[in-house]
Structure 1
């Protein structure tokens, strides 16, 4: 009887472990499924002339390397500008009439503002997740006449050409730097600046991906540390020479 009891306990433990293994695999597969539901519309024309500028602080999206592969985000995704520069993979989903069999990758460069006076009509009102794409990007995943389509999306690494770009603005007493063309996570969460005669100086976010400091750094070469939302940091030493100018754009290292 003791031997039989031991055998029964052993078999039960094996069954329990097997069930735990199976459940773990299922739970793991679900946790790794990063696709989420949302909706998408479009703005602008086929030339993308209305996609320029925006709430992230970027300027000429063509010169800055973003082109037409851009999107504005609803409040739920924009996160007060913290998501600027992040990249998303998007495809039309579960609408046979309007969906096209295509997947796009776009960079967040703008904000789709809510309209609380029209709670039933404005897809950018919280808590809705919504992408307002450039028209050429929308027409890659859906038929133009649809106007709005259900989509699924996930965050993906940004692939950029060249190094991180730093556009210096401001004046002698106040420095603002637009940080763009960031690969990897794409969304910058911290920037530090260093003059050739200073230690590292913490910059604060002004708006979008514009970062500021009141340190006087004219006449010094400038270095930058850029940290993205995944915790990675890249340091670019002596990016701007000592004779840098306001309005100048300087290229650093890349993730």
Structure 2
């Protein structure tokens, strides 16, 4: 092999190794602790800080969680994580996939799971009961994609809305592993857009909203829980619009999914 080809070959090997290490780094587990809501029902809470209401209690089969640092002032709402406990005699290898729906902390834990999700980390139903008896466990976790088969993103008009003076809505069934960092509300006819405020959690709101049929534009970013600027931003524009005569409690099927 000529010196030039050998140099190119070594360069390619080095590049492939770097790419492999980068890919592996994105899948690394982070060590922490997890507890559970001691006074909750088996599923999640209907009054979580993300503002999902009853949707948050039953989302993902009730496998939901509160978090403190991962909540990120509401940006973390809707993010999914694989959480698995580390006791080999009780814990399964896969653990449980949870959706973040609330903010909360308990004695240095990163997650406060629903009782259902906490027990799901066990190898068996009996192991799950033993985990619940412990109250908290050492865990490891990583960010994963959210998946809701046969579901498009839903725009749910919040009950606090007051037509036509105040409009607030929640974005439900947020797929993929990217964060929604900004939302614009646009007049369909004129394409004039207004940047919305994050009222709290996953609730986006505007006083004196535009009139007529309205479209929503969502800015997607990264997916890395530790770095909001880790990837290039992109806008996602639903296919369906909020009707001109919107009303509190209504749900609009966006007609699209997040990748």
Alignment of 1:1-255 (within 5 A): 24=18, 27-28=21-22, 31-44=25-38, 47-48=41-42, 51-61=45-55, 65-74=59-68, 76-93=69-86, 95-113=87-105, 122-124=107-109, 130-142=110-122, 143-160=131-148, 161-169=150-158, 170-171=161-162, 172-185=164-177, 187-198=179-190, 199-218=192-211, 220-230=212-222, 231-253=233-255, 254-255=257-258
Shift in CA distance, 51/44, structure 1 to aligned 2, threshold 3 Å: farther
Residues in 2 aligned to 1:201 and 1:25: alpha-carbon distance in whole angstroms: 40
Q: Which runs of 5+ in 1 are unaligned?
A: 1-8, 115-121, 125-129
Shift in CA distance, 32/164, structure 1 to aligned 2, threshold 3 Å: closer
Cα-to-partner distance string for 1:174-214 (whole Å, 9 max, x where unaligned): 22111121111253211111223441221121110111122
Whether contact under 8 Å (1:83, 1:108) holds in the other structure is yes
Whether contact under 8 Å (1:99, 1:149) holds in the other structure is no
TM-score by length of 1: 0.76
Q: Which runs of 5+ in 2 are unaligned?
A: 123-130, 223-232
How far is 1:50 from its partner? 5.5
Cα-to-partner distance string for 1:129-170 (whole Å, 9 max, x where unaligned): x11111111111142222111111111111024111112242
How far is 1:237 from its partner? 4.0
Shift in CA distance, 18/98, structure 1 to aligned 2, threshold 3 Å: same
How far is 1:240 from its partner? 2.3
| RMSD, aligned CA | 3.2
Greater radius of gyration (CA): 1
Shift in CA distance, 79/246, structure 1 to aligned 2, threshold 3 Å: same
After superposing the two structures, state which structure 1 stretch, 174-183 or 130-139, moved more. Answer: 174-183
TM-score by length of 2: 0.75
